[in-house]
Amino acid sequence: MSTLPSSIDVAIVGAGAAGIGAATRLRQAGVSALMIEARDRVGGRAHTIPAAGDVIDLGCEWLHSANKNVLVQVAEAHGFTVDRGTPGWSGPASVGLPSRDHAEYRQALSDFFDAVEEAAATGRDRPASELLPKNSRWEMLLRAVATYYSGTELEHISIIDFDNYEDTQINWTVREGYGAMIAGAAKGLPVVFDCAVSKIDHAGKSVKLETQRGTIEAKAAIVCVPTPLIADSTLRFDPALPAKQAAAAGLPLGVADKIFFEIEGDFSYPRGHFYGATDRVETFSFDMFPRGRKLLSGFYGGAFAVELEKAGPAAAEAEARRQIVAVLGADANRRLRFMRTTAWRSDPFARGGYSSALPGHVGDRQILAAPVDGRLFFAGEACSKIHFSTAHGAWETGVKAAEDYLGAR
């Protein structure tokens, strides 16, 4: 859609997984809805691009809890191929961490999760860092892995929120890319691009949305933008919604980024996963030949990712190469052609990777998700109590917000 209509039944702010889930459900119910999207594409933090004769996912890649993931069926219904292979990162490291050490580390991780579960059951919230094993050889790797899970350090994570996350440990992928699949699911749904919403006036019976392309009036709005944009009033409400704003601030986005190298020529190293280091938090989680592609990809999170985003792609490349050389040697490094990094924190319409609740803020997910006056509804990964930080969690909250609207009509 190239122009903004003056009115619509339901305005959906943001065409990420949550917005597309909401639009899909409303279309099924025969309700006219329009996604209003700030970018020139759908998908948000789900984004697949062509690379190295194949595709890469810059954002979400894994269908987590795949045996229960609603998007498996959505993918197959839209003609995408679900690859039921096991991720490299879920098994032993292919190099750099002997299998006995890996088993010891997995035990430390499992003990940490048990400690979180036990502490969460008391109902007394506190930072997850308090449950780290004392004087453990694996403390730094546990801390690093937490930044992959949550995009932030354990000091900033509520143990109850961490424990609420539901994970069946089964992870699949979409052959054509997770982002491509989410965009495929949006095909045919009405959307207007390059149209950031700056204010939602909900004082009257209808809601009025001020956008980059003018004002649109709707019976209701479903707000599906990342939490930082609500917390810092990039998207404002009139009358103001201080409880929503505070809840969004209690659910900040951590940072997760990726780096990609193309593998050139012969590369006789074992396929699979390895860590850049196991004795420091600032480490990449690398995958060689992920799903058979001639790539080496690295995942990194937390303060380390923030620092590398600030320093720029050349600094991230240099640090990744330094860690690769330390594990694989200089010859392997020479066969890698740098492709790109991501910078989700610097992305003005994302501002980070995914949400976690600050200690003491586990209830903020419910506050953020609660409808206002039967006219304003909220969705997005941060609104999910058990599937937060994921694309399927975002989709589910979009469907739920659409159903709440249908119930409130």
Ligand X SMILES: Cc1cc2nc3c(=O)[nH]c(=O)nc-3n(C[C@H](O)[C@H](O)[C@H](O)COP(=O)(O)OP(=O)(O)OC[C@H]3O[C@@H](n4cnc5c(N)ncnc54)[C@H](O)[C@@H]3O)c2cc1C
Binding site for ligand X (CB under 6 A): 13-19, 36-39, 44-46, 59-62, 64, 196-197, 224-226, 229, 235, 256-258, 342, 344, 349-350, 353-354, 380-381, 389-392, 394
Q: Are 202 and 373 in contact (CB under 8 A)?
A: yes
**Which segments of 29-138 does DSSP mark as H helices, in order?**
70-77, 99-121
Closest chain position to ligand X (CB): 16
Q: Which is nearer to ligand X, 323 or 342 (CB)?
A: 342
Give the CA count within 13 Å in the CB-facing half-sphere of 120: 18
Q: Which is nearer to ligand X, 61 or 125 (CB)?
A: 61
Closest contact distance (angstroms) between CB of 405 and ligand X is: 17
Q: CA dist 193 to 61, 83, 213, 380, Å?
A: 24, 31, 10, 19
What is the distance between the alpha carbons of residues 151 and 255, in angstroms, rounded to a whole number? Answer: 4
Q: Which is nearer to ligand X, 189 or 350 (CB)?
A: 350
Closest contact distance (angstroms) between CB of 372 and ligand X is: 18
Closest contact distance (angstroms) between CB of 12 and ligand X is: 9
Closest contact distance (angstroms) between CB of 371 and ligand X is: 17
Q: Which is nearer to ligand X, 107 or 212 (CB)?
A: 212
Closest contact distance (angstroms) between CB of 353 and ligand X is: 4
Closest contact distance (angstroms) between CB of 62 and ligand X is: 4
Q: Which is nearer to ligand X, 15 or 248 (CB)?
A: 15
What is the distance between the alpha carbons of residues 39 and 197, in angstroms, rounded to a whole number? Answer: 11
For the chain, what is the largest distance between any 2 Cα atoms, rounded to a whole number of angstroms? Answer: 67
Q: Which is nearer to ligand X, 342 or 356 (CB)?
A: 342
Closest contact distance (angstroms) between CB of 107 and ligand X is: 25
What is the distance between the alpha carbons of residues 249 and 232, in angstroms, rounded to a whole number? Answer: 8
Q: Which is nearer to ligand X, 344 or 377 (CB)?
A: 344
Q: Which is nearer to ligand X, 323 or 384 (CB)?
A: 384
- Among residues 6, 23, 39, 60, the alpha carbon closest in space to that of 377 is found at 23
Closest contact distance (angstroms) between CB of 391 and ligand X is: 4
Q: Which is nearer to ligand X, 269 or 300 (CB)?
A: 300
What is the distance between the alpha carbons of residues 137 and 140, in angstroms, rounded to a whole number? Answer: 8
Closest contact distance (angstroms) between CB of 155 and ligand X is: 21
Q: Please report, in angstroms and rounded to a whole number, the separation of the first and last CA atoms in the chain.
A: 26
Q: Which is nearer to ligand X, 54 or 139 (CB)?
A: 54
Closest contact distance (angstroms) between CB of 76 and ligand X is: 17
Q: Which is nearer to ligand X, 16 or 108 (CB)?
A: 16
- Among residues 376, 393, 388, 126, the alpha carbon closest in space to that of 251 is found at 388
At position 13, the amino acid (one-letter code) is: V
Hey, is 408 helix, strand or coil? helix
155's CB contacts (< 8 A; 6+ apart) are 127, 128, 129
The DSSP H or E segment spanning 332 is helix 330-334
Closest contact distance (angstroms) between CB of 277 and ligand X is: 20
The phi, psi pair for 258, rounded to 5°, reads -135, 150
- Among residues 266, 249, 273, 256, the alpha carbon closest in space to that of 99 is found at 273
- Among residues 358, 1, 374, 38, the alpha carbon closest in space to that of 224 is found at 38
What is the distance between the alpha carbons of residues 386 and 160, in angstroms, rounded to a whole number? Answer: 11
